[in-house]
Amino acid sequence: MPGIDFTQVLVVFVMLLVSLSVHEAAHAWSADRLGDPTARLLGRVSLNPAVHIDPIGTILFPLIALSTGLPVFGWAKPVPVDMRHLGDNPSRKYMLIAAAGPGSNLVLAALAAIAIHLVPAYGLAGAVLRGVVQLNVLLAVFNMVPVPPLDGGNVLSGVLPGGAARMFDRLRPYGFVILYGLMFSGILWRVIDPVQEQLLAWLL
């Protein structure tokens, strides 16, 4: 396929695969620490990408984006959480589990940024480190958009008082419709871009 840099495609795809695996492993680890062993028993407390891959979201969608010049994005298999195992105040614990994924992406971005500042990186190494920062900031900010089923929606549900949380959760079946509407209208990017740019300014 002319015009495609296959080395770049491979590097970005591997970065995305690693970032998504860390994201989902963080969900699984935090759920296990807070009392729900479901994800651990399914082998999801792991950085092995094989246990987190969603064929469409982790492979097909990102490769299409990379080969057509669209913004790189993707997702992995959601980590199952059984709230019956979370004991007292399960909604607040579920909120922490949801926040762990984006939090792990910010940690990855920060580590890559520290590496850039401590060890001058040029060529492919520098491009990879900057790519890790940019990709993980995007994943963190996007996932914290307060629309279910994104992590931000689950965090907001845990913060809201009981009645408001129940009303908010009624939006859950329509979450993807709302999300796509925000994406295609451009509203989503007008919200995400300033936050993403500020974080990148701090890190880089």
User: Which amino acid is located at 65 in the chain?
Assistant: A
Q: Phi, psi (5° rounding) for residue 119?
A: -125, 105
DSSP-assigned letters across all residues of 20-66: HHHHHHHHHHHHHHTT--HHHHTT-SS--GGGT--IIIIIIHHHHHH
Catalytic residues: 24
Q: Is 80 helix (H, G, I), strand (E, B) or coil?
A: coil
Angle at 170 between CA 147 and CA 168, to 5 degrees: 55
CA 32 to chain centre: 19
**Continuous segment of H or E residues that includes residue 166:** helix 162-169
